Amino acid sequence: MLISLTTNYSPKRCNSGDACSLEGGYKLSGLFDYLVYAASQEHSWNSQLGDAATRQTVAGFLLHQHLCSTSAECCNPYPHDQKIRDHAIIITPDHLPYITGNDIAGLVENVGPDVTAFKRGDRVLAQADTSTPDGGGVQQYAVVRADMVTPVPRSLSLDEVATLPTVAMASFVALFHPSGLGLPAPYSKASESFAYQRHSLLVIGGGSNCGKLAIQLARLVGFGKIIAFAAKTPGKGAELEELGATHILDRHAEDVAEQCRSIVGDGLIYALDTVNHGPAAHTLGVSLLSNSERGTLATLLPGGVDETKVGNKAAGYEVKFTQGSGHLHRELGQQFWKHLPSWLEAGKIRPLRYRTISGQNEKAVNEALDAYCDGASVTKANVHPHAP
């Protein structure tokens, strides 16, 4: 069972020094065993369905399906899971028991009595709601609000779409929610009159999975220039270009900032950093924002700015750390899930590359998590817990 994956997770030290340490994280080290214990408990699906508060909103996934050895019910280990495993961040004692697993694709097992949009057997995709024990992906059934679930287009496999929920939602929130850049969302009236073509978006971490989704979303709304900072590795440039980046700059180049300025001049007011964290982590992003117009850097990780190195921001600037959860930003989340199938069908949003881990292979899962820890280029790993 999938559950045994979690019971065998082994806390591991980062190989890259303090690269993984996040400030403000809650240290749970002694409680890790409890977490694992909690994850091994089966949660009562039926009791959820009987709860009046969830009558209209609950859908469910079957992630545990002995009979379908070829089925692709899957859940992929995510950077959050690595941070939780190694540093016990994100969760607090209030969140216990905490069930990990953010991205889930599978079959609807059952629906609440007032749910009409889904029925048993539908192929669906969702971002797990890990704020409740019944919501986490790594367990027999995950319970999700029906308005936070989307049908999977026939043309795509569950494996393909399972690569998307959290990275796509994180970038979507960072770009279109007021807690991030607050840009007009692609389906909104406001987006029709917004001069996207005249603006540039800088994506620091363009090579990350979140970055790849940000690039695609930026292309979807029509940004004139989409500049990605990414490592210059074979094939990477072509991949990011295909996703929509108009300029790919080698993030290791000493003059990467100058290269960026030569493209955007003093006109950059929208930037997103998907990867950096730490005391002065957002200095580079802020330094590239316009000096004469007020710009905003949205970030997926918390961090500070070295004010002595950002230039004279006469009009000021903002740095906004965003939380990419559709459950937290429900209105935007609902719209995202509503529109995602059509974007997928039209090829406007493409799934990420993935590999699969068959069976209850805790060694492979831990290695997948280690890759996040070590800052390497990560191909998403989909776990098929019931495959041989």
Q: Which residues bind ligand NAP (CB under 6 A)?
A: 79-80, 166-167, 170, 204-205, 207-210, 229-231, 236, 251, 274-276, 300-301, 322-324, 372, 375, 377-378
- Output 60 or 79, the one with its CB closest to ligand NAP: 79
- Output 171 or 290, the one with its CB closest to ligand NAP: 171
To ligand NAP, the closest distance from the beta carbon of 165 in angstroms equals 10
Can you tell me the distance from the alpha carbon of 370 to that of 361, in angstroms, rounded to the nearest whole number? 14
Q: Are 92 and 383 in contact (CB under 8 A)?
A: no
Task: Point out the residue whose Cβ comes nearest to ligand NAP.
Answer: 207
Tokens of 58: 């609950």
To ligand NAP, the closest distance from the beta carbon of 83 in angstroms equals 6
- Output 106 or 324, the one with its CB closest to ligand NAP: 324
- Output 191 or 323, the one with its CB closest to ligand NAP: 323
- Output 166 or 335, the one with its CB closest to ligand NAP: 166
To ligand NAP, the closest distance from the beta carbon of 115 in angstroms equals 27
To ligand NAP, the closest distance from the beta carbon of 111 in angstroms equals 28
Can you tell me the distance from the alpha carbon of 303 to that of 181, in angstroms, rounded to the nearest whole number? 17
- Output 151 or 278, the one with its CB closest to ligand NAP: 278
Q: Count CB-CB contacts under 10 A for residue 383.
A: 27
- Output 167 or 357, the one with its CB closest to ligand NAP: 167
To ligand NAP, the closest distance from the beta carbon of 388 in angstroms equals 28
To ligand NAP, the closest distance from the beta carbon of 202 in angstroms equals 11
What secondary structure, in 3-state letters, does the chain show? Answer: CCHHHHHCCCCCCCCCCCCCCCCCCCCCHHHHHHHHHHHCCCCCHHHHHCCHHHCCCEEEEECCCCCCCCCCCEEECCHHHHHHHHHCCCCCHHHCCCCCCCEEEEEEEEECCCCCCCCCCCEEEEECCCCCCCCCCCCCEEEEEHHHEEECCCCCCHHHHCCCHHHHHHHHHHHHCCCCCCCCCCCCHHHHHCCHHHCEEEEECCCCHHHHHHHHHHHHHCCCEEEEEECCCCCHHHHHHHHCCCEEEECCCCCHHHHHHHHHCCCCCEEEECCCCECCCCHHHHHHCCCCCCEEEEECCCECCCHHHCCCCCCCEEEEECCCCCCCCHHHHHHHHHHHHHHHHCCCCCCCCEEEEECCCHHHHHHHHHHHHCCCCCCEEEEECCCC
Report CA dihedral (325, 329, 334, 335) to the nearest 10 degrees.
-100
- In DSSP terms, which residues pair with 318 in a beta bridge? 296
To ligand NAP, the closest distance from the beta carbon of 44 in angstroms equals 29
Strands 200-204 and 270-273: parallel
**Longest Cα pair distance anywhere in the chain, in angstroms?**
64
- Output 209 or 283, the one with its CB closest to ligand NAP: 209
To ligand NAP, the closest distance from the beta carbon of 102 in angstroms equals 8
To ligand NAP, the closest distance from the beta carbon of 256 in angstroms equals 9
- Output 83 or 386, the one with its CB closest to ligand NAP: 83
- Output 208 or 360, the one with its CB closest to ligand NAP: 208
To ligand NAP, the closest distance from the beta carbon of 384 in angstroms equals 20
